[in-house]
């Protein structure tokens, strides 16, 4: 006996990836429904070796469905997630809408699986921001050993984090650079993204940080420990898929780089590739399509008493979004629903 599963936003980057990962991981699905907006109605999407047609999110009845994976953005989520939850369907939401709601658990299964039992307050579970998800997978096992005081992170985030429009803009601009008759237009991003980097993701806040940076701060505290201090600089880079992060960590207790490497090698969801030689590290190109969060460049920071640096890379459409959502569904099935 399996689950009746809904994927809302099935024609987008993350929605399609959710369908792929449900099939790849052989999630026990009895029936699957792919939902989209009216303009994408009838579009065909793949689920394993099957092709299914999208249905209208606006008119869909969630009664009798077990789990809904939402990848539709905060606006539609605000309208449809409460309807699904009220119908008895547990919503796992990829938008930022519910992440900071105290009655909604924000979960990365490798870090805080015990939080799953809080889902019943609203029948909704939040998926974290893409840049937060991969970072906390690396931080949590180190925090358990030496307690983290402060994190300084700079991100190098791919354009797929901004959706299909972001990927199209990088592609079109790159072609335009090599074709002098074409004008380099920017619509999705605030400046040219091809052959450039943009230190601006999401809106600016009053303190000068961006909302993306604020998300990393707030979500790390909620998932791991509210006492951890985090400061972030989030940058969009001309890479199609795969987010990278340079992470500086200050601990309360000393943690040797070799022990940190050993801890991370044994940690769920982490793959350590850390050779001090040419190519002995992971870049976004190698992480695409993989489930793991890759850690490289682990080294002591000699400028503070208990400091480490590391390099963290992951497929943002997978661990940063779709994979984490499916892992939450797996956790929900094991711990609560217990059907499959």
Binding site per annotation, positions for substrate: 157, 236
DSSP annotation string for 224-240: T-TT-EEEEEEEE-S-S
Residue list for the binding site: 11-14, 39-40, 99, 157, 160-161, 236, 316
- CB 135, CB 247: distance < 8 Å: yes
Confirm whether 117 is a catalytic residue.
no
Going by the annotation, the residues of the binding site for phosphate are 99
Catalytic residue, chosen from 111, 243, 287, 312, is 243
Q: DSSP string of 249-290?
A: EEESS---HHHHHHHHHTSTTEEE---SSTT-S--HHHHTT-
The rounded distance, in Å, linking the Cα atoms of 122 and 86 is 8
Kindly list the strands in the beta sheet with 124-126, ordered across the sheet, starting from the edge strand earlier in the chain: 55-56, 29-36, 3-8, 67-70, 90-93, 124-126
Nearest to 32 by CA among 14, 12, 55: 55
Measured distance CA(73)–CA(95) in Å, rounded:
5
- Determine which one of 130, 234, 287, 312 is catalytic: 130
> Could you confirm whether 130 is annotated as catalytic?
yes
Helices (DSSP H) in 147-210: which residue ranges? 164-177
Q: What are phi and psi of 264, to 5 degrees?
A: -65, -35
List, by residue number, the catalytic residues.
130, 243
């Amino acid at each position: 006996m399996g689950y009746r599963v809904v994927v809302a936003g099935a024609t987008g980057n993350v929605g399609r990836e959710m369908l792929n990962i449900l099939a790849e991981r052989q999630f026990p699905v009895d029936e699957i429904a792919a939902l989209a907006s009216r303009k994408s109605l009838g579009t065909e999407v793949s689920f394993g070796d099957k092709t299914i047609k999208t249905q209208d999110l606006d008119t869909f009845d969630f009664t009798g469905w077990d789990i809904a994976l939402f990848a539709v953005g905060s606006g539609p989520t605000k309208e449809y997630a409460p309807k699904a939850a009220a119908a008895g369907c547990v919503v796992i939401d990829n938008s930022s809408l519910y992440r900071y709601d105290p009655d909604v658990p924000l979960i990365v299964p490798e870090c805080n699986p015990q939080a799953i039992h809080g889902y019943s307050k609203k029948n909704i579970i939040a998926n974290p921001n893409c840049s937060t998800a991969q970072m906390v997978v690396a931080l949590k096992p180190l925090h358990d050993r030496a307690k983290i005081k402060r994190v300084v992170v700079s991100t190098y985030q791919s354009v797929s984090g901004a959706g299909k429009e972001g990927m199209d803009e990088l592609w079109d601009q790159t072609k335009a650079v090599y074709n002098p008759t074409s004008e380099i237009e920017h619509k999705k991003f605030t400046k040219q993204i091809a052959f450039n980097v943009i230190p601006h993701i999401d809106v600016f806040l009053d303190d000068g940080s961006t909302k993306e940076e604020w998300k990393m701060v707030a979500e790390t505290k909620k998932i791991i420990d509210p006492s951890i201090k985090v400061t972030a600089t989030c940058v969009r880079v001309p890479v199609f898929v795969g987010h990278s992060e340079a992470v500086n960590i200050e601990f309360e207790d000393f943690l040797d780089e070799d022990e940190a490497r050993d801890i991370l090698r044994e940690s769920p969801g982490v793959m350590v590739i850390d050779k001090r030689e040419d190519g002995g590290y992971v870049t976004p190109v190698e992480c695409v399509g993989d489930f793991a969060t890759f850690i490289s460049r682990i080294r002591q920071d000699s400028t503070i008493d208990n400091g480490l640096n590391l390099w963290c890379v992951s497929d943002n459409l997978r661990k940063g979004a779709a994979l984490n959502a499916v892992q939450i569904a797996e956790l929900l099935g094991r711990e609560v629903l217990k059907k499959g």
